[in-house]
C-alpha cells in the first residue's frame, strides 16, 4: 500500500484530512518542516507495538519516546511482554512501510492510543503512507477516525 491507498481510504470513509505529496522524501522532522515550509508544525509519529497478545498503535510527538516500561505498567503486564514491532511485521499489519506509517487506513484494525500532549494542537502532520507523503489531520478527527483513546506518555 502507499499514499494513493491512504487517499482512497480517506475519501471512502469521509475523513477530514489532507494528504500532502512532495517531490523529495520527508523521512525526518527537518525534511518535513522544510517541505511544509513551516518549522512550527506539529509532527507526530505512529509506532506499532506488541503488547502481550495484541498489537497496538501509539501516536506521539516525533521528539518523544515511548517507554516500554510505562506501557507495561499501563497494561498491567510484565515489561518483557512489550516490544516494538519489526519492519516486516509493521508492513504485514499496516500495509505501509516503517517510517511512513499513517495512524489510519491499515490492513488490520488495531487499538490506537494518542498521546494527550497532541490533543491541544490544531493540526498534526504524520506519516502519509510512503516517504514522500504526510497526512495532515486534527487531533479530534484522528480520534474519531481511528477510534483512538488518549493517554499520557511522560
Q: Residue 81 in contact with residue 51, Cβ under 8 Å?
A: yes
Q: Please give the Cα distance from 95 to 147 (Å, whole number).
A: 19
Q: Reading across the β-sheet that carries 149-151, which strands appear in turn?
A: 82-84, 44-51, 54-61, 111-115, 149-151
Q: Please give the Cα distance from 100 to 94 (Å, whole number).
A: 10
Q: Please give the Cα distance from 26 to 32 (Å, whole number).
A: 5
pLDDT tens for 60-80 read: 999 898 888 889 988 999 999
Section 142-150 average pLDDT: 96
DSSP string of 118-145, one letter each residue: GTT-S-EEEE-SSTTEEEEE-HHHHHHH
Which pLDDT does position 30 carry in this prediction?
A: 86
CATH domain 3-151 topology: YbaK protein (3.90.960)
pLDDT tens for 8-31 read: 999 999 999 999 999 999 988 888
The domain segmentation of the chain, as residue ranges, is 3-151
With a cut of 90, say whether residue 47 has pLDDT above it. yes
Which pLDDT does position 28 carry in this prediction?
A: 85
Q: Please give the Cα distance from 85 to 24 (Å, whole number).
A: 27
* DSSP secondary structure code for residue 3 in this structure: H
Q: Residue 99 in contact with residue 66, Cβ under 8 Å?
A: no
With a cut of 90, say whether residue 33 has pLDDT above it. no
pLDDT tens for 98-132 read: 989 999 999 999 999 999 999 999 999 999 999 99
Amino acid at each position: 500500500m502507499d499514499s494513493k491507498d491512504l487517499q482512497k481510504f480517506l475519501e471512502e470513509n469521509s475523513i477530514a484530512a489532507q494528504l500532502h505529496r512532495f517531490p523529495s522524501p520527508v523521512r525526518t522532522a527537518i525534511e518535513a518542516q522544510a517541505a511544509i515550509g513551516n518549522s512550527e508544525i506539529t509532527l507526530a509519529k505512529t509506532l506499532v507495538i506488541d503488547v502481550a497478545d495484541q498489537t497496538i498503535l501509539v501516536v506521539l510527538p516525533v521528539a518523544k519516546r515511548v517507554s516500554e516500561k510505562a506501557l507495561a505498567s499501563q497494561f498491567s503486564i510484565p515489561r518483557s511482554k512489550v516490544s516494538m514491532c519489526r519492519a516486516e511485521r509493521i508492513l504485514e499489519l499496516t500495509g505501509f512501510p516503517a517510517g511512513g506509517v499513517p495512524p489510519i487506513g491499515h490492513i488490520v484494525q488495531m487499538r490506537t492510543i494518542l498521546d494527550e500532549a497532541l490533543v491541544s494542537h490544531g493540526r498534526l502532520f504524520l506519516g502519509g503512507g510512503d516517504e514522500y507523503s504526510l497526512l495532515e489531520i486534527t487531533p479530534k478527527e484522528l480520534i474519531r477516525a481511528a477510534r483512538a483513546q488518549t493517554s499520557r506518555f511522560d
